[in-house]
Amino acid sequence: MKYSIQCDKLRSNDIGEMIWSTHMALASPVTLEDFETVCNGDGLLSEGESFEDFCCDDPDHGFYKCETPQGDVYFLQSSGFEFFFTPSGKPPTFFVPEYQEVANTIHRGGPLATLLLAAGDGRMQGRNGAEFHIDTLPEGIEVIEGRNTRFRLMREGEAIAGMKVDGSTITEIFVRNDERKQDIASANLILQRSKARALATKAICSPCPPARRPGRRS
């Protein structure tokens, strides 16, 4: 893989923004060793510099792989930026417009709206550490484990509400306020019932899978 482009240049127009959103949604963490095996740092790293050196100032940096119909894309996420690697060195081009709609929802909703994102989504920006989807409960609730536990309420394949808990305490909750206004009143109750059920049945994994450090923000 050859170094391709930095995220701010990729996101300089509407199409580039959709490409970025799509790759954030498709991203899965990989280890530094796996990343170094397939990615060539020429064009990004200084002479004698390693990927580890490049990221040393950001403890929440991460390495990701995206599998797309046009081939694999890798990126390094550090200090608020993503640095993309592709087989040809040309910028990635694959996008799914629906992922931009999710990005718009997050932009409108602020940081709490990231509770709607799936486990490991690059747009989480490392806020909850390395995440894993560990269970799906009744009523369409996904259980995600990271530094804290997250729950997503799903309807027709889309997340309409999310919640984060610390132990048995709810610390954050977000409910979409768009065409599903009728669901807002019930979503909080469903999420809290599911949290109680998950804790009671130990649906939350312990110990968690080995942590792989994700990235930060962009």
The one-digit pLDDT tens for each residue of the chain (218 residues) are 999 999 999 999 889 988 998 898 888 889 999 999 999 999 999 999 999 999 998 887 889 999 999 999 999 998 889 999 999 999 999 998 877 666 666 666 677 888 888 887 877 777 787 788 888 887 788 999 888 889 888 888 888 888 888 877 888 888 876 544 555 545 565 666 666 555 554 444 444 444 444 444 44
Collect all residues with Cβ–Cβ distance below 8 Å to 212 and sequence separation of at least 6.
Answer: 29, 30, 31, 62, 130
Burial class, 193, CB count within 10 angstroms (exposed 0-12 / middle 13-18 / buried 19+):
middle
Is 213 part of any domain? no
Cα(178)–Cα(98) distance, rounded to whole angstroms? 15
Whether 68 and 8 share a structural domain: yes
C-alpha 88 chain-centroid distance: 25
Structural Rg of the chain based on CA atoms:
18
Domain housing 6:
2-95
Whether 184 and 133 share a structural domain: yes
Is 217 part of any domain? no
Q: Cβ distance 75 to 23 under 8 Å?
A: yes
82-138 pLDDT, tens digit per residue, is 999 999 999 999 998 877 666 666 666 677 888 888 887 877 777 787 788 888 887
pTM beyond cutoff 0.95: no
